[in-house]
């Protein structure tokens, strides 16, 4: 993969923008951008782990319905 490529900046409404060349595409839907001196650094937002995702969910306000049918009793088959 190329390490450097010349790109043009353009205006998109009141924002300055650039098109990211295909070889530099991020495998994400969101990114974090920050400035380090005169450099702009763009990083993909890391995906949350399942535990982090579950921690953001609110508990259910209702109980699960009663199960009318008893579970099947396992039987050995020879």
How far CA 19 is from CA of 13, 14, 15, 28, 70, in Å, comes to 15, 16, 13, 15, 60
Q: Answer yes or no: pTM beyond 0.75.
A: no
Task: Give the highest mean pLDDT range of 31-40, 49-58, 68-77.
Answer: 31-40
Distance between CA 77 and CA 44 in Å, rounded?
53
Give the pLDDT band (50/70/90) at residue 1.
low
Q: Which of 24, 25, 7 is nearest to 16 (CA)?
A: 7
- β-partners of residue 39 are 36
Q: Mean of the pLDDT values across residues 2-29?
A: 91
Lowest mean pLDDT across 11-15, 49-53, 64-68: 64-68
Domain ranges of the chain: 9-56
């Amino acid at each position: 993969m190329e390490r450097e490529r010349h790109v043009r900046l353009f205006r998109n409404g009141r924002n300055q923008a650039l098109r990211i060349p295909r070889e530099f595409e991020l495998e994400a839907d969101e990114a974090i951008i920050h400035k380090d001196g005169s450099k702009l650094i763009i990083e993909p937002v890391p995906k949350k782990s399942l535990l982090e995702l579950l921690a953001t969910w609110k508990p259910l306000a209702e109980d699960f319905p009663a199960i009318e049918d008893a579970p099947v009793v396992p039987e050995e088959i020879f």
